[in-house]
Amino acid sequence: MTPLKYAKPERLWLKNHPELDERWLQDRIGEDPSLLGLGDLVLKDRERPQPRAGRLDLLFQDAEASRRYEVEVQLGKTDEAHIIRTIEYWDIERKRYPQYDHTAVIVAEDITSRFLNVIGLFNGFIPLVAIQMSAIRLDDSVSLICSKVLDEMRLGLVGEDEEVQAVTDRSYWEARASKHTLAMADEMLEVVRALDPDLELKYNKFYIGLAKGGQPNNFVIFRPKKDWLRLEVRLDRSDETQAQLDGSGLDVMDYDSRWGRYRIRLAKGDTSKHRDVLAALMTKAFGGTA
């Protein structure tokens, strides 16, 4: 094995760089949200217009939860105007879409101690995350390193509402998950078509739902992963249903009280092995939508 050699990287300050500007940085974060270290995020919008308040740099949504992140990017040091703008955009978005939890995120090249002192006064009342981003050059390549220097204190949940999702297609989900887990969703579609033969899969950005004649009917939705499929059935929580699931041998996750769904993790073979139990559960949910 060839021994590794030490190479000293060079810190680049994008604030003064002739080519790498804020838009370039937004592009990199938008392409790879994992840079932020905030979980499995999906880009919802960029340069999002705000009523009488400019444009929000980046809006992300958690692929696993009902949470959105309002992200503002600043080159150089943080300043007071940037703090105010970030909080203002967060406030606008949470009022417009109260069905989601919202977190304000500031990304800057230099998070000053004064900034941290000021932000510390808000944290606990306003969910804030501060991320210091460093651009590192090594030979003819540039990398970005993000360090979370201030994490949020979680606020309580806000009121429920219906999800609003962007429409995608099957190829999007085959790339994001796998053909194998999409095939599992197809098997579940066969089950629900026994209830209504006109139902079809509807590919949204954050989940796969059901539709009839183009109209959503999401008494059950699917969230495919690389190796497994999460099935979410919309039913009121009850001791009877919980007991049925507990004795089924299925991998049952926590009940999603926000959206009123039982969540089940299906591995390879589960769709056929537990077909009768899953069919009974979805039949009950389908009856509740009538």
Q: Give yes or no for residue 201 having a pLDDT over 80.
A: yes
Alpha carbons 123 and 93: distance in angstroms, whole number: 18
CB atoms within 10 A of CB 20: 18
Which amino acid belongs to residue 213?
A: G
Half-sphere exposure at residue 250, Cβ-oriented, CA atoms within 13 angstroms: 30
Quick check: helix, strand or coil at residue 92? Answer: helix
Question: Does 163 have pLDDT greater than 60?
Answer: no
Torsion over CA of 105, 32, 161 and 192, rounded to 10 degrees?
Answer: -160
pLDDT of residue 123: 62
Least confident of 136-140, 201-205, 268-272: 136-140
Q: How confident is the model at residue 111 (pLDDT cuts 50, 70, 90)?
A: confident
Tell me: the pLDDT tens digits for 116-136? 777 767 666 788 889 999 999
For residue 19, which amino acid is it? Answer: E
Which pLDDT tens digit goes with each residue over 2-15? 788 888 888 889 88
Q: What is the model's pTM?
A: 0.57
Whether the per-residue pLDDT at 222 is higher than 80: the answer is yes
Domains along the sequence of the chain with CATH: 10-150 (3.40.1350.10), 170-288 (3.90.1150)
Strand 67-77 versus strand 101-110 pairing type: parallel
